[in-house]
Structure 1
């Protein structure tokens, strides 16, 4: 029976509202072979008190100042000893208690597993599927029209998981997934929802900077002219999505 160790990494800073929900989602998984790593940026709002309630379920806790989200993620990667790594950051959740077991039951020894993501609001209410539907057969070129797989919905073999490029402050996860996918030989779509994603975050608050970083990443991998042309497609798809949903809500 395929039973790899999964390193689940949660990074958090001053998110007392959401951290417990995320931790219970991880600790409630029926899959037993999980190494749980929590990286806290030295929170001072009560987050650490909640984290310590679950010390018995945490494999490694790092609580110290960091230089941003991807510095914290790199600390989690460096501490990971599992066969696979995935990030379930504060505010996000596994889709249900059997998610990890279902992912690894889908195929043996893939380099990457991925699935679909449901968006949730601050109140925990479902906002439906992400605008970018996960592709049926993902390859690294599939990000040319946007991030079609969410960060919370991808499991990467640890040997393929390089550190995040910290020159990107908001979109290094796109670069990280592309680099891993370029090296992967087997990428498996588990054909199910695997994560709940809390809408918002830094990339939402600093949207213009995030878009600039994404354009730079896509230009580097796909070329300048194709990236410019692809952004016309992205703009059209975004406009159509907005129009379609406005009609639905009217």
Structure 2
């Protein structure tokens, strides 16, 4: 089994090294590591190149006015490759689509800047399962308040629960078969919840899902979807209502929308101790 791990970043020199090292230090080395930079101007682009060249030898390097591309092979591991593209994009999901298009291995997973694979054996543990599915998914660790509070977010095994607005599915804890992902790219009309739309789309098109209770990724609460939480939630509501026509289910979706809305309001205005407990609830 081979993996394409994709990191999307823009102007985040503070966190990029930790994210990259979580992929580079995996014990399983049959990996293509793709880094997509949105044309950073804070030194992130130069830092990425520095990290890649620390671990790999250049195979191809293309420099243009508006685009930089680097292809390299790890010095110690012949099956570990780097692809680094720096180019302006039209948003996070446009950048993520570029990563999908560049991928060539069996399964794609996104570990975007600020997040990281949960431990060094994540890919080895997944490969050992020897499963056959279009989508593999597992659990997620959530970090709140810059890693001062962590907890495991258990993902539902019941795919019918998808109507509950995200239901803990997203790019950090899903591995999608490359040939499937290339057929179903992220819809860039959604700026914050397109990963939720994609999972729903794959489910509605009868793709095969496989679950394991492996904790896949550590997700740092406070990214784009959190900073634009109300807009993200509205997008999720629109997506869930689009994929469900049953009246009763639509009522449930609206209920979950207001429940999730109350959680987001609480994160903004209530004491931290209360918010930490509230975040563990589903919805």
> Which structure features the higher share of strand residues?
2
Does the CA-based 8 Å contact 1:111-1:184 persist in structure 2?
no
What's the counterpart of residue 193 of structure 2? 171
Matching of residue 108 in structure 1 with residue 136 in structure 2: no
Matching of residue 50 in structure 1 with residue 47 in structure 2: yes
Counterpart Cα distance in 2 of 1:208 and 1:124? 23
Does the CA-based 8 Å contact 2:165-2:237 persist in structure 1?
no
What's the CA shift string for 1:170-220, capped at 9, x where partnerless?
111101112223345532212121110010112222222212211111111
Q: Match of 1:189, SS?
A: strand
What's the CA shift string for 1:7-36, capped at 9, x where partnerless?
111000001111111000000111111100
> Which segment is superposed worse, 92-101 or 211-220?
211-220
- Listed as ranges, the gaps of 5+ residues in structure 2 are 57-73, 75-80, 278-283
Counterpart Cα distance in 2 of 1:105 and 1:84? 14
Q: TM-score, normalised by structure 1?
A: 0.87
What's the counterpart of residue 145 of structure 1? 164
CA separation of 1:175 and 1:42: change in aligned 2, threshold 3 A = same
- What's the C-alpha RMSD, in Å, of the aligned pairs? 2.5
How many residue pairs match? The answer is 241
What's the counterpart of residue 174 of structure 2? 154
Counterpart Cα distance in 2 of 1:66 and 1:103? 31
Displacement of 1:78: 0.7
What's the counterpart of residue 129 of structure 1? 152
CA separation of 1:17 and 1:134: change in aligned 2, threshold 3 A = same
What's the counterpart of residue 21 of structure 1? 18
What's the counterpart of residue 60 of structure 2? none
Does the CA-based 8 Å contact 2:173-2:217 persist in structure 1?
yes
